[in-house]
Structure 1
Amino acid sequence: MSKPFQTHNKQLKILRSRNLIIKDGSKAKSILIRENYYQLINGYKNIFLDQVKTKQLKNDYFKTGTTFEQIYALYEFDRNIRHILLKYMLICENSLKSKIAYHFSSEHGKEPFPYLNINNFQTKSFEKSSSLIALLSDVTKNNTDAQNKTGPFFHYFHNHKELPLWVLVTKLSLGQICNLFYNLSSKIQSSIIDSVQNEFKHNSNQYHSFISSNYIEDFNKAINTIKAFRNMCAHEGKIYDYIAKNRNGKAISTSFFYLSSPPAYSGNVYSLILLLRFFLSKKHYKALIRLIILEITDLGSELPPSIFSELVKRMGFPKDWKTSLDQYI
């Protein structure tokens, strides 16, 4: 049975009947006009529900004292966290693209269009390598700017009769970059990881030396975790309690192999932040942590202590989360 359409006033009436306090009806209505009811209420209600009474009544019932304003505060917090994380994931993405293009081109620089040669990729799965080459060929074709004769694509096609990978990667999504890394030779994969490791070694007091070739799979899962979060952020998905999953819906499991005293990996926001630490400069990481701490602290003043503690837990943060984040600077 489909649910009938409800006016904004009716939506507020229903929420009040479910034990939700609405301090300012006019303000709440203006929020519902601006925001999607399903995304706001259904998306963020869970942590505020009295699960026992909800089960008894077979309908949502909010914990006593819960307000509409608290739900909206969590909604706004999640939006802000999403924007902050996306900014630093884009920095990570750009760094990864640069390193992949550099080390692949260093190995195959004398060959025109080396990324279209199946012999330059992993030999364990020619089917996957062939699919990757087809994808790279399509990206090249779909982004050609020969018609208006401007931009780097036309410049390299016209003047050099090729398109180097360091130009092509600017048009690749993070998912395509992850696919590209997965199909590179283990030699180039190790060189890329060594490059990231070398940068991290000089800008963190938590650096732990490791042999790159031993952690190719962990590195691959790490960048796929970042990709999963990036996609959630780009599509306005709920972030604070998200666990990174692969395309089959299975949780991604990796490790913080680059940290001298690593916590357990759990795939949540806290894990994402520690993964980003490996790719970010100290300056960028400090800026990220400062913004995250500010947002969490502000939300703490809006929520009841029990709800706030549960939220921090769902994000994967330890009880001493401020100290914990700072120690990796």
Structure 2
Amino acid sequence: MDNTNNEILYSSVEEQIEKLKQQNLIIEDEDFAKKYLEIFGYFNLIKGYRSPYIFTDASGLHYRSGITFNQILSLYMFDKNLRNAVIASMLDLEEHIKASAADVVAQSFGTHQDDYLNIRNYRDKRRRNRKFSLRNTLITIQKALNSDKTPVSHYREVHGIIPPWILFKNLYFSTIINFINFFKPHEKEQMVYHLYDVDSTDLSVDNLKLIMMDTLFVCLDYRNLAAHGGRIYNYRSDCNVRLENFSTDVSEDTLPKGFNQLIYILSCLKYRKPLDDLSKALNYEVNRHCSAFPEDATYLGQILNIDIKSENVVWITGTSDKFHYTPYCSGIKHPLQISEQKAIANGYIPCKRCCKETD
């Protein structure tokens, strides 16, 4: 596609390649470039990921010296694989959140839908959008009672009761999060105990309630962005994480931002798998891309808000002979960061859990 006098014109893949070459992009294998432009599309691949590699002057847009098509494709695949990891991790977290909410609701109000969906059990809040009011949220949940999908239909027809752990499986993540936000203090406290290791933190339960809701809304934001094919690696959520509720050594300057904020808030949760899987994917993709294009390490480090070294980085502990691609694998404590080459030279072996090959 091209844009001339505000008119969007069609261009063939061959024309797209010629235009890229005229803009100083190095295309080492035109058949290879043609293949991936046909698969992913010029807009998704080039316009979506050329930003770090271009400049404009009076004569138009140009690629910086030495930039190749393969470099843009690698950044695209970096983001695509990270986006897939976000989806997988958020679906895993969503299942855990739904199960936890169902347990809290059933324990407090019983297993019959007429009891646990009683509006008096929840605290109404003024919402700018009436669509997300308590009453409308409960109406949305009640509509799911009539679903033809199993197991809801089975429980309705056979038992006449649809317990919350059955009903919640059919709800959107956004509906569950809005519902949790209407929980009264006792139920929110029970959710906190499900999600956080309360006894091992110096944070109060009241602070953890706020952190929990911040975390859920940030996770929902990333899940929705990833589900709609949005660019993940340089995204910053509009959902606010209330800094004052974290430990005293976290401030506006020290709280992780961007993608690393997602990693940070997941690291506070008791259930570790969403964090482990996402950290593994991030570490793998950073190592893969920066090994091929080390000049991108500084840029990605700033965007992701992480320290990127030019060598493959792994984590070890003083109590095991294994090295890890993620510092959170299996709940390891106080890991040390070293190069993979040095770890192997010192006799460490790869962890079977987090060092499997990633496609």
TM range (shorter): 0.7 to 0.9
Partner of 1:172: 171
- Structure 1: distance between partners of 2:21 and 2:303: 27
Encode CA deviations 1:254-313: one digit per residue, 9 max, x unaligned. Answer: 3495779657335411111122223364566444433321211010022242x2211121
Q: Go from structure 1 to structure 2 and tell me whether the alpha carbon gap of 1:177 and 1:214 turns closer, same or farther (over 3 Å shift).
A: same
Partner of 1:270: 260
Q: Go from structure 1 to structure 2 and tell me whether the alpha carbon gap of 1:83 and 1:103 turns closer, same or farther (over 3 Å shift).
A: same
Q: Is the 8 A contact 2:173 2:220 kept in 1?
A: yes
- Structure 2: distance between partners of 1:219 and 1:168: 22
Q: Go from structure 1 to structure 2 and tell me whether the alpha carbon gap of 1:7 and 1:88 turns closer, same or farther (over 3 Å shift).
A: same
Q: How does 1:89-238 map to 2 (within 5 A)?
A: 89-109=90-110, 112-125=113-126, 128-141=133-146, 143-145=147-149, 151-198=150-197, 207-238=200-231
Which of 279, 304, 322 is residue 289 of structure 1 equivalent to? 279
1:101 is displaced (CA, Å) by: 0.7
User: Structure 1 counterpart of 2:181, which letter?
Assistant: Y
1:25 aligns with 2:25: no
Encode CA deviations 1:150-182: one digit per residue, 9 max, x unaligned. Answer: x32233213332211111110112111111111
User: Structure 1 counterpart of 2:43, which letter?
Assistant: Y
1:84 aligns with 2:73: no
Encode CA deviations 1:180-217: one digit per residue, 9 max, x unaligned. Answer: 1111112101110122123x76xxxxx52322223323
Q: How does 1:6-45 map to 2 (within 5 A)?
A: 6-45=11-50
- The number of aligned residues is 307
- Identify, as 1 or 2, the structure richer in strand: 2
Q: Is the 8 A contact 1:229 1:244 kept in 2?
A: yes
Partner of 1:254: 242
- Structure 2: distance between partners of 1:27 and 1:280: 45
Q: Is the 8 A contact 2:112 2:163 kept in 1?
A: no
TM-score by length of 2: 0.77
- Structure 2: distance between partners of 1:240 and 1:59: 27
Instruction: Judge which range, 270-279 or 129-138, deviates more.
Output: 270-279
- Structure 1: distance between partners of 2:10 and 2:304: 34
Which of 291, 301, 317 is residue 291 of structure 2 equivalent to? 301
Unaligned runs of 5+ in 1: 146-150, 202-206, 246-250
Flag the structure with more relative contact order, 1 or 2, with Cα contacts below 8 A and sequence separation at least 6. Answer: 1
User: Structure 2 counterpart of 1:292, which letter?
Assistant: L
User: Structure 2 counterpart of 1:289, which letter?
Assistant: S
Secondary structure of the corresponding residue to residue 85 of structure 1: helix
Secondary structure of the corresponding residue to residue 317 of structure 1: coil
- Structure 2: distance between partners of 1:256 and 1:165: 34
Q: Is the 8 A contact 2:81 2:281 kept in 1?
A: no
User: Structure 2 counterpart of 1:211, which letter?
Assistant: S
Q: Go from structure 1 to structure 2 and tell me whether the alpha carbon gap of 1:5 and 1:62 turns closer, same or farther (over 3 Å shift).
A: same
1:79 is displaced (CA, Å) by: 0.8
- Structure 1: distance between partners of 2:124 and 2:216: 22
Instruction: Judge which range, 225-234 or 131-140, deviates more.
Output: 131-140
Q: Is the 8 A contact 2:218 2:262 kept in 1?
A: yes
Q: Go from structure 1 to structure 2 and tell me whether the alpha carbon gap of 1:135 and 1:287 turns closer, same or farther (over 3 Å shift).
A: closer
- Structure 2: distance between partners of 1:280 and 1:58: 55
- Structure 2: distance between partners of 1:218 and 1:113: 30
- Structure 1: distance between partners of 2:288 and 2:297: 11
1:83 is displaced (CA, Å) by: 1.4
Secondary structure of the corresponding residue to residue 8 of structure 2: coil
Q: Go from structure 1 to structure 2 and tell me whether the alpha carbon gap of 1:124 and 1:283 turns closer, same or farther (over 3 Å shift).
A: closer
User: Structure 1 counterpart of 2:292, which letter?
Assistant: E
Q: Is the 8 A contact 1:156 1:162 kept in 2?
A: yes
Q: Go from structure 1 to structure 2 and tell me whether the alpha carbon gap of 1:110 and 1:176 turns closer, same or farther (over 3 Å shift).
A: closer
Encode CA deviations 1:6-59: one digit per residue, 9 max, x unaligned. Answer: 111111111111111111111101111111110111110111113xxx1x2363
- Identify, as 1 or 2, the structure richer in helix: 1
Q: Go from structure 1 to structure 2 and tell me whether the alpha carbon gap of 1:167 and 1:258 turns closer, same or farther (over 3 Å shift).
A: farther
User: Structure 1 counterpart of 2:212, which letter?
Assistant: F
Q: Is the 8 A contact 1:93 1:174 kept in 2?
A: yes
